[in-house]
Chains A and B, each alone.
Chain A
Amino acid sequence: MRQSILFCLFSVLILMMSGCAAPQLKKDDLLFEPVIDKVISDERPVFIYVEDFGFAKTIPDPSIVGEARIGMFNAPASILSQDPVHTIITDQIKNAFLEAGFKLEEKEKADFTISGRVERFWVNERPAGMAESSKASVKYDLIVKDRQGRFVWGENVIGKATSAKTLDTTKNDVPTLINALKNSIESIFLNDSFLRAVGQ
């Protein structure tokens, strides 16, 4: 009897310590559609080449995108991503430029070359009074150069998002990170200096 009680207590303790698993950023999470107006007309196509983005020293591991607090004791757990952050940003930037009406082309034939480096792609959980919320930030350089390799436009693009307050915000971690990414991408095509630089 005593052994059974101890076993039950031990099991409950393990459950409390582990709780649910840390969320993961999956490829399916990235199938969102940013709200981008078409800025390039079909009559005057603009051809671009998007180089693979790199990542800065501020990202020690590009496959870790945040820190969740899980279980009864709020144990920290890394949020992993199926794709590394620089691959995610490269793909999303390509999609966004296509959405805006640009056309992809080989580097030699392109009007502009787009390159960049990811500095931050991260979500974590912050206490908010009695509750908590997920807080995400995405930051990367975006550089546009012309066919001769001369700098045309550059910006340290930033996107931020915060979830609503809740008692357990872990489920909001990945959606909040996606929102931050979406905000960052949409901001590029709302930037007048960018539109002027690419001749629109």
Chain B
Amino acid sequence: LHYLCGYLGIVPEEFEVLPVFLKVENMSQNPTKVDLPNSFITIGEKQTSYMDTDSVVDRIAKNDADAARALGTVLGVFGGVAGVVGGVAGAVVGTGLGVVIDSSKTGSATVEGHYYRQSSSPVFIQPKNSGSGLVFYHFSKEDFDCEGLTLSVPIVDLNTNNISNAKFTFKPANFKKIKGERK
């Protein structure tokens, strides 16, 4: 995580952004919408909110001149981020880690362009289909040593307008393992 964040300019201590790989499968009979702007992460009694990809890129460009230049340069090497996989109207498929950005597949795209392409999509998911990609959350530097965190993602049934909440719990051990591996 540190490795990826550092390369892209997301230095958690400075930019306080947590990238998460999210995959949602629509196992219901109706089309659904993944309501990312209303998703959040709970850390103890604290809640931290979703950041859209443009805001993440803006934050990087604003705070770090080197990172701002990197956004316009050719890609180099990427690492992995924390990942969760979940199913709508069904059981959670699994939680864990996912290496989502592979340098061998990025070609000559810019870092910024790659960010957009890797963002979670589609948010409108037909039955038996899935959407996946990167999602970003505000994350205070002191929370990187937290005991555990839970990601809550509202899912809207587009025919009935019913809203269900998909919850994914990160294992702190896995979270720290990534940090350790990537240092």
Contacts and interface: CB of A to CB of B under 8 A. Distances in A.
Given A58-B52, A156-B122, A151 B159 contact: yes
A156 B68 contact: no
Interface string B116-129: 00000111100000
Taking each of A139, A145, A151, A155, which has the highest tally of chain B beta carbons within 10 Å of its own beta carbon?
A151
Nearest to B37: A56
B37 A151 contact: no
A124 B59 CA distance: 11
Interface string B20-64: 000000000011010001100000000001111011001001000
A159 to B, nearest CB: 12
Given A126-B61, A149-B159, A56 B123 contact: no
A67 to B, nearest CB: 9
Interface of B is mostly: mixed
A58 B61 contact: no
Contacts of B50: 57-58
A126 B61 CA distance: 7
A150 B54 contact: no
Contact of A139 (B31, B54, B159): B54
A154 B157 CA distance: 12
Contacts of B51: 58
A173 interface: no
B54 A120 contact: yes
A151 B38 contact: no
B74 interface: no
Interface residues of A, number: 21
Contacts of B52: 58, 119-120, 139
Given A139-B52, A156-B121, A156-B123, A56 B159 contact: no
Contact of A154 (B54, B55, B124): B124
Size category of the B interface is 20 to 34
Interface in A138-191: 139, 141, 143, 145, 149-151, 154-156
A149 B158 CA distance: 9
Interface string A64-88: 0000000000000000000000000
A94 to B, nearest CB: 22
Contacts of A112: none
A155 B124 contact: yes
B65 interface: yes
Contacts of B68: 126-127
B65 A127 contact: yes
Contact of A137 (B38, B54, B121): B54
Contact of B33 (A56, A141, A149, A150): A141
A155 B51 CA distance: 19
Nearest to B52: A58
A156 B54 CA distance: 14
Interface of B: 30-31, 33, 37-38, 49-52, 54-55, 58, 61, 65, 68, 121-124, 158-159
Q: What 8 A-B pairs come out closest when comparing CB atoms? A: A151-B158, A56-B37, A154-B124, A151-B31, A137-B54, A58-B37, A156-B123, A58-B52
25 contacts: A57-B37, A57-B49, A58-B37, A58-B50, A58-B51, A58-B52, A58-B55, A119-B52, A120-B54, A122-B54, A127-B61, A127-B65, A139-B52, A139-B54, A141-B123, A143-B158, A150-B159, A151-B30, A151-B158, A154-B31, A154-B124, A155-B122, A155-B124, A156-B122, A156-B124
